[in-house]
Amino acid sequence: LSPKTLKNFPPGPPKLPIIGNIHQLKSSTPHRVLRSLAKKYGPIMYLQLGQVSTVVVSTPRLAREILKINDICFDDRPTSTASQIFFYNAQDIGWAPCGEYWRQMKKICRLELLSAKKIRSFSSIREEEVSNIIKVFESKAGTPVNFTEMTVEMVNNVICKATLGYSYKDQATLIELLLDVLKTLSAFNLASYYPRLQFLNVILGKKAKWLKMHKKLDGILEDVLKEHRARRRNNNHQEDLVDVLLRVKETGDMDFKLTDEHVKAVVLDMLAAGTDASSTTLEWAMAELMRNPRIMTRAQAEVRSVVKGDTITETDVQSLHYLKLIVKETLRLHAPTPLLVPRECRHDINVGGYDIPAKTKIIVSAWACGTDPDSWEDAESFIPERFENCPINYMGADFEFIPFGAGRRICPGITFGLSMVEYPLANFLYHFDWMLPNGLQPHELDITEITGISTSLKHHLKIVPIPKVLSKVR
Ligand code: HEM
């Protein structure tokens, strides 16, 4: 299509001068605002967000057109000052342009960290971390624990041990930085609306703040590389992802020259993407169980009938059919990244009868697809049973359920992510009964959302563990 023939843009809400539609997105939950707008203006919608032309897609049929049928046109990511600063000129996997570098680095991570075989080999790490958190829950029996904070730490320990070979000594600082980076990368950050007015970032004081955060993170990653180089000289230890990347860098086995910055960008990707999405899923699953005592009771009965003895194995988890349905339903209703990660259109194209010009930012609402009334009955309710005898899966082929995205940019961490949700959840339900604090009733639990790049509970989930042994005595 030549620019002259691009006439039929998707419909969208009326715009104001200069800011376009920004004012309509002033909300802590853009996925909800976008779905309401889509109900009015249609499942493919055009928004002008400052200088950024944006198309939002909200049904499974259109998601399929973008992520499958025209994947090659939509497999790039828009660039932003934040992704340039934090990821060493977007040289990670999540923000890198979809070329040979991206393909090879994604392949290394798939093979060396995220394959089913590798994930099985990390089972002792998961067991140790889950056993530690259970001990803390036991020590706090009968009093409220900050479930959100504790599970973020647990998940981050697993990711760090698998990726770096150890948990990071100043974990609190690392987690704070990782979550801040992800918040900054949200598609709905004011600074991202005016890419051609970079001075705006300076005026808003954002750039200075981001550079400071980057410097701190870079210091952490430099330490990691230094420690790995020293360790590699001793030779006799299991290679982790950092070792593999450093080895590939030295042997020069790639079609391009790998630098320390590439290694740091990819390691940062794993730590950030891995920590946030998995712990958010765990938090939402537990919040829904606390709100739905019937589902909690059924899930506990299942895990307590399957497990023999006092230790849950990962093989046991494979038999926890209902628990897996709960995780699926959590991902449908609370996809941690409800708007996926934005894509960018490579060339002019026609989708759903509408013209989309090259370089348009594309947002696919996984959440709107997951709650699409034509695909799901009683779509807003949490009903794990809906997945019973239902072939719909999250592997990127069923577009009414795409919490991990789809196509070439699909999340490579699905199995790893789920291993950090299912196994801990099974343990929490097996070893404890759970209560809400201060006599709160299930329906009173506050599940207000807040959105950065992921959507989590606005207020940390605080709940009371009652060890199974104690609850039997009661
Ligand atoms: C429940 C857990 C997780 C969820 C729900 C999730 C979700 C997502 C989503 C929606 C995307 C964007 C896909 C798209 O654009 O189509 C993504 C990308 C990505 N995820 Fe995950 N993720 C999870 C866990 C993980 C883990 C554990 C890792 C690694 C340790 C990881 C690494 C990545 C990377 C590197 C990308 C970028 C892929 C690319 O651009 O090619 N994720 N994830």
User: What would the pLDDT profile of 431-467 be if each residue is shown by its tens digit?
Assistant: 999 999 999 999 999 998 887 667 889 999 999 999 9
Q: Which whole-number Å values give the CA distances from 366 to 349, 445, 449, in the listed order?
A: 22, 25, 16
Using a 10 angstrom Cβ sphere, with 0-12 exposed, 13-18 middle and 19 or more buried, the burial of residue 131 is: exposed
Ligand 1 pocket check: which of 276, 365, 411 to mutate, most ligand atoms within 8 Å of Cβ? Answer: 411
pLDDT at 323: 98
Q: What is the arithmetic mean of pLDDT over 185-210?
A: 70
Question: Quick one: the chain helix, strand, coil %, rounded to 5?
Answer: 55, 10, 35
Tell me which residue has its CA closest to atom 17 in ligand 1.
411
Ligand 1 pocket check: which of 404, 414, 423, 455 to mutate, most ligand atoms within 8 Å of Cβ? Answer: 404
340, 363 contact by CB (below 8 A): yes
CATH number at residue 301: 1.10.630.10
CA 274 to ligand 1 centroid distance, Å: 7
Percent of the chain with pLDDT over 90: 77
Bridging pattern class, strands 52-57 and 361-364:
parallel
Ligand 1 within 6 A of 280 CB? no
CA 412 to ligand 1 centroid distance, Å: 6
CA 404 to ligand 1 centroid distance, Å: 6
Using a 10 angstrom Cβ sphere, with 0-12 exposed, 13-18 middle and 19 or more buried, the burial of residue 254 is: middle
> What number does the ligand 1 atom closest to the CA of 271 have?
30
CA 336 to ligand 1 centroid distance, Å: 10
Q: Is the pLDDT of residue 343 over 80?
A: yes
pLDDT at 200: 65
93, 202 contact by CB (below 8 A): no
Q: Is the pLDDT of residue 191 over 80?
A: no
Q: Is the pLDDT of residue 474 over 50?
A: no
The parent domain of residue 343 ranges over 3-473
pLDDT at 33: 93
CA 340 to ligand 1 centroid distance, Å: 9
pLDDT at 236: 66
Number of compact structural domains in the chain: 1
The residue that leads in pLDDT, 195 or 437, is 437
pLDDT at 190: 64
pLDDT at 473: 47
Q: Distance between CA atoms of 114 and 143, rounded to whole angstroms? A: 37
Q: Is the pLDDT of residue 359 over 50?
A: yes
Strand order through the sheet with 432-435: 145-146, 462-467, 432-435
pLDDT band at residue 278 using 50, 70 and 90 as cut-offs: very high
Q: What is the mean pLDDT of the chain?
A: 91
Q: Is the pLDDT of residue 92 over 80?
A: yes
pLDDT band at residue 1 using 50, 70 and 90 as cut-offs: very low
pLDDT at 199: 66
Ligand 1 within 6 A of 396 CB? no
24, 50 contact by CB (below 8 A): no
User: What would the pLDDT profile of 33-64 be if each residue is shown by its tens digit?
Assistant: 999 999 999 999 999 988 899 999 999 999 99
pLDDT band at residue 239 using 50, 70 and 90 as cut-offs: confident
User: What would the pLDDT profile of 305-328 be if each residue is shown by its tens digit?
Assistant: 999 888 899 999 999 999 999 999
Nearest CA to 262 out of 104, 98, 414, 82 is that of: 104
Ligand 1 within 6 A of 464 CB? no
CA 244 to ligand 1 centroid distance, Å: 21
Q: Is the pLDDT of residue 471 over 70?
A: no
Report whether 411 belongs to an annotated binding site.
Answer: yes
Q: Is the pLDDT of residue 234 over 80?
A: no
User: What would the pLDDT profile of 380-425 be if each residue is shown by its tens digit?
Assistant: 999 999 999 999 999 999 999 999 999 999 999 999 999 999 999 9
User: What would the pLDDT profile of 58-84 be if each residue is shown by its tens digit?
Assistant: 999 999 999 999 999 999 999 888 899
350, β-bridge pairs: 355
> What number does the ligand 1 atom closest to the CA of 163 have?
30
